[in-house]
Structure 1
C-alpha cells in the first residue's frame, strides 16, 4: 500500500476526547488532528515522540489531518489508523502473501452475515459455476498494536463487538463454511500475538472456544514507513 502523497511528520503532544490529538508541526506550530483509532491505544501514546499524518482535501472535514503512524520510545513504528488494516489484508491476499487464503476467485468487503447482524471484513468464494465449489471463507480482520513485556496482545480494551465476531465465526464453521480470524500486527516490535486475558477474559475464553471449534487464527506482521505499508511475514499466535 503506497501512501500518495507520503505522510507528513509531527510530534505527539496529547490525545483526548477519544478522536482528537494535538501535535507540533516542524515549524513549531500546534494543530489538532483526527485520531481514527477507537480503542484505548494502550501503550501507543508516546508524548514527545514522532508521529505521521495524512491530509485530506475534503473541505467538509473539520479536521483535515488524520493521525496515521506513531513511533515508540524504542523506535518501533505503530499503525494508528485501524481503518487501513482491511486494505492491507486485501492487498496481501491478492498479492499471495497470505498463503492460507489463496485459491479463491472472488473477494468482497463488508458482506452481511451471521445471526447477530454483522458484516464480515473479507468474504472469499469461488465462481458460482463451479460444480463443487469450496466452502465460503469468512475473514474477520483485527489490528493488533498492544505490546507489553515483549508480547503482542489483543484486545487493548474490553470488546463486546470482538466477542460477537468470534461467535459469528463459530456459527459459520457450524454451517460448513471456513472462518478465519486474521490479526494484522501494526507494530514493528510485536513478533507474536495472544489474547489479552488480563484485559478481556471473556474474549480470551471465546478465542479458545473458537479455535477448538475450527475457526482458523492467523497473524501477519506489517512493515511500515511514511511512504508505504505492507505485510511481510506470518507470526505465531499463542493460544
Structure 2
C-alpha cells in the first residue's frame, strides 16, 4: 500500500509565535549556541544534529523561542540562509511527518537492533530531514551518519523479508528543486542510498518554506537526473 497522504501546497504544518531574532556568537558544542539578544549574550539550545556550517556561524541571524530547558531558556527555531529561513528543530520532525502518513500508523517501531520512525500495516517508514541545498539540489547528510546508513540497511532487510519500505525526506529549504545524497560528505551513506533504490525502497521528498513563524508545504520533488 502507498502510505502517504497527498497534501496541497500551502498546507501549514507548524506555527511558532513570539519568536526573538538573535545573532550567532559561537557554537561551543552540538547542542548549544551562544547568541546576542538586545546586546546580551544568552545560551540557546539547538536540537539539530547536523554541522549546519552554512547556518550557524558568527553574525548570522537566527530566530529563537523561549523554552524551559534545564540548562537554557531558549531554543533555535529558524536560521537565516541567505534570503530565506530554514527550520532547525528536529523534535518536530516526527509530528510533521505524521501529517503526511495515512491513519493507523505506529510510531518508533523496533526492528532488530534498529528503531524506525513509523510502521503502517505492512510498510515501514523512516523520516530524514535536510536544510542543505546547493544550486537547487537538496543534500543529505551534511555530516557522516552511521545511524542513517544503518536505517537504510534495515529497510533493505525488510524488503527481503516481504515488507514495504519507505523514506520520507522533510526538506526545510524552499530553494530545493531535486534531491541527491551528499557523496562528498558521506560516501558510505550515499552508497547505501543507491543500494536501497535497487532493492525497492521508495522515497518521498517534501519541500517546506518558512515565513512569519509558519512552516508551509511548498512542493514534492524527486531525485535529480544523473
User: Normalising to structure 1: TM-score of the pair?
Assistant: 0.82
Deviations 1:22-63 (A, max 9, x none): 1121x222211111112211322243232111212x3x6110
User: Normalising to structure 2: TM-score of the pair?
Assistant: 0.86
Tell me what 1:63 maps to: 72
Is 2:39 the partner of 1:28?
A: yes
Structure with more of its chain in strand, by fraction: 2
Structure 1 portions without partners, runs of 5+: 94-103, 126-135
Alpha-carbon shift at residue 141 of structure 1 (Å): 0.7
Tell me what 1:39 maps to: 50
Tell me what 1:112 maps to: 110
SS at structure 2 position matched to 1:188: coil
> Once superposed, what is the RMSD of the aligned Cα atoms?
1.8
Larger CA Rg, structure 1 vs 2: 1
Give the Cα separation in 2 of the matches to 1:231 and 1:2: 10
Query: Greater RCO between the two (CA within 8 Å, min separation 6)?
Result: 2
Tell me what 2:89 maps to: 81
Residue 237 and residue 175 in structure 1: after superposition, are their counterparts in 2 closer, same or farther (change >3 A)? same
Is 2:99 the partner of 1:91?
A: yes
Match of 2:60 among 27, 45, 49: 49
Is 2:20 the partner of 1:8?
A: yes
Residue 189 and residue 16 in structure 1: after superposition, are their counterparts in 2 closer, same or farther (change >3 A)? farther
Give the Cα separation in 2 of the matches to 1:175 and 1:210: 14
Deviations 1:68-90 (A, max 9, x none): 11012x21211111222221111
Is 2:168 the partner of 1:204?
A: no
Residue 141 and residue 71 in structure 1: after superposition, are their counterparts in 2 closer, same or farther (change >3 A)? same
SS at structure 1 position matched to 2:153: helix
Residue 236 and residue 87 in structure 1: after superposition, are their counterparts in 2 closer, same or farther (change >3 A)? same
SS at structure 2 position matched to 1:237: coil
Match of 2:167 among 181, 206, 223: 181
**Conserved 8 A contact 1:88-1:231:** no
**Conserved 8 A contact 2:86-2:173:** yes
Alpha-carbon shift at residue 226 of structure 1 (Å): 4.5
Give the Cα separation in 2 of the matches to 1:188 and 1:105: 27
Residues matched between the structures, number: 213
Residue 191 and residue 46 in structure 1: after superposition, are their counterparts in 2 closer, same or farther (change >3 A)? farther
**Conserved 8 A contact 1:8-1:226:** no
Q: Runs of 4+ in structure 1 displaced over 4 angstroms?
A: none
**Conserved 8 A contact 1:144-1:152:** yes
Give the Cα separation in 2 of the matches to 1:83 and 1:105: 21
Alpha-carbon shift at residue 6 of structure 1 (Å): 3.7
